Amino acid sequence: MIRTAVMTDTNSGISVQEGQEMGVYVLPMPVVVDGKEYTEGVDITHEALFEALEAGKPAMTSQPSPADVRALWDKALADGAEQVVYIPMSSKLSGSCDAAAALAEDYGGKVAVVDNHRISVTLRSSVKDALYLSRLGKTAEEIKAQLERNAFDASIYICVNTLKYLKRSNRVTAAGASLATAMNLHPVLNIRGGKLDAQCVVRGDKHTQKTLIKLMETDLEKRFRYIPRNQMRMYTAGTFVNPEDAEEWTGRVRKAFKDESIRYYPLSCSITCHVGENAVAIAMAIKGE
């Protein structure tokens, strides 16, 4: 029996089923579509969310209930773990991290909530690091300290196909969204340190993927120039409606970086609510093992 159980939420891109296979407790995140709340992987799929968005139905994110968070912590402890390390999405992107930290105060040090300022596939990388450390016998607080120390050793670039969903969440003005659409402009966003920032703007679909690859190449050459490639994990991600598009994107990235180990993971339903369909992303994280 492991000493410290590892827990995350579906914003890591890890489903409940995959979590069970990995040995990770995964909290499915809620989304609200057309006024009704659903739970990712339980009663809503990516395909169903795509259909709702295409039909013009409003979709937004929601925080998990305190009861659901506590229930999964209690299950991990009841299963035999001495402690739980919980790695939710970045506090800069959601209030769920701070809310969980407040709840953890009632557990007498048995639950440590990590804010390592990540989301999606870089959060997945943190979970893998936590699993490794847990199997070495590290405590929840020791794992939390290491993950937060390595929080900024990662980078994500994402290009959205449309600005209308970011407009709904007030991340871009209506006028700006209309102008960008008229000029066939696609914003490239950078998620680094938990913040969502504009990186650049690309005109036309043909240049999008090339730009994302170039940005990541620049990061590897400058920010991470002293890190050997075998100490990094690289991913592709997106909200592709057509699975073949995801395969094509991943193949292009594998070719560019000469790395067949690169895998694609869909962005979570919560992220999809903000970026819409056919967003494309590339990410990397330094292994913290």
**Using only C-alpha atoms, what is the Rg of the chain?**
19
User: What are the residues whose beta carbons fall under 8 Å from the beta carbon of 220, sequence distance 6 or more?
Assistant: 229, 232, 284
Burial 138-150 (b: 16+ CB within 10 A, else e): bbbebbbebbeeb
Residue 232 has pLDDT above 50, yes or no: yes
Q: How far is 22 from 174, CA to CA, in rounded Å?
A: 43
Looking at the structure, tell me whether residues 96 and 20 fall in a common domain: yes
Residue numbers of the domain that contains 100 = 4-28+64-149
Higher-pLDDT residue of 226 and 164 is 226
**DSSP class of residue 236?**
E
Looking at the structure, tell me whether residues 232 and 167 fall in a common domain: yes
Q: Is residue 44 part of a domain?
A: no
Tokens coding 6: 């590892």
Burial environment of residue 240 by CB neighbours within 10 A (0 to 12, 13 to 18, 19 or more): buried
Tokens coding 176: 């700006």
Q: Is residue 208 part of a domain?
A: yes
Pick the last residue of a domain from 96, 116, 149: 149
Q: What is the dihedral of CA 250, 256, 259, 264, to 10 degrees?
A: -20
Residue type, 224: F
Looking at the structure, tell me whether residues 222 and 270 fall in a common domain: yes
Q: Is residue 54 part of a domain?
A: no
pLDDT band at 220 (very low <50, low <70, confident <90, very high): very high
Residue 170 has pLDDT above 70, yes or no: no
Tokens coding 81: 């773990």
SS3 label, residue 164: helix
Looking at the structure, tell me whether residues 17 and 92 fall in a common domain: yes
Burial environment of residue 197 by CB neighbours within 10 A (0 to 12, 13 to 18, 19 or more): exposed
Q: Is residue 234 part of a domain?
A: yes
Q: Is residue 225 part of a domain?
A: yes
* Residue 164 C-alpha from the chain's centroid: 21
Higher-pLDDT residue of 127 and 56 is 127
Q: 264 - beta bridge partners?
A: 236
Q: Encode pLDDT of 129-164 as tens digits.
A: 999 999 999 999 999 999 999 999 999 999 887 766
Residue 255 has pLDDT above 60, yes or no: yes
Looking at the structure, tell me whether residues 175 and 255 fall in a common domain: yes
Q: 37 - beta bridge partners?
A: 32
pLDDT band at 175 (very low <50, low <70, confident <90, very high): very low
Tokens coding 93: 């992107």
Q: Is residue 59 part of a domain?
A: no
Looking at the structure, tell me whether residues 239 and 280 fall in a common domain: yes
Give the CATH number, domain containing residue 132: 3.40.50.10440
Looking at the structure, tell me whether residues 116 and 215 fall in a common domain: no
Looking at the structure, tell me whether residues 142 and 159 fall in a common domain: no
SS3 label, residue 226: coil
Q: Is residue 55 part of a domain?
A: no
Q: Is residue 179 part of a domain?
A: yes
Tokens coding 102: 């407040």
Give the CATH number, domain containing residue 206: 3.30.1180.10
Q: What total number of domains does the chain contain?
A: 2
Looking at the structure, tell me whether residues 201 and 223 fall in a common domain: yes
pLDDT band at 179 (very low <50, low <70, confident <90, very high): very low
CB 164 within 8 A of CB 150: no
Pick the last residue of a domain from 114, 149, 184: 149
Pick the last residue of a domain from 96, 115, 149: 149
Q: 59 - beta bridge partners?
A: 33
The span from the first CA to the last CA of the chain, in angstroms, equals 20
CA 270 to each of CA 50, 51, 91, 97, 254: distance values in angstroms, whole numbers, following the listed order: 12, 15, 15, 15, 27
Q: How far is 154 from 118, CA to CA, in rounded Å?
A: 8
Looking at the structure, tell me whether residues 183 and 272 fall in a common domain: yes
Question: What's the pLDDT at 174?
Answer: 40
Looking at the structure, tell me whether residues 114 and 239 fall in a common domain: no
Question: What's the pLDDT at 180?
Answer: 40
- pTM comes to 0.89
Cα 137–Cα 104–Cα 97 angle in degrees, nearest 5: 95
Looking at the structure, tell me whether residues 12 and 129 fall in a common domain: yes
- Tokens 């159980």 correspond to 5
pLDDT band at 171 (very low <50, low <70, confident <90, very high): very low
Q: What is the dihedral of CA 173, 179, 185, 188, to 10 degrees?
A: -10
Q: How far is 146 from 288, CA to CA, in rounded Å?
A: 8
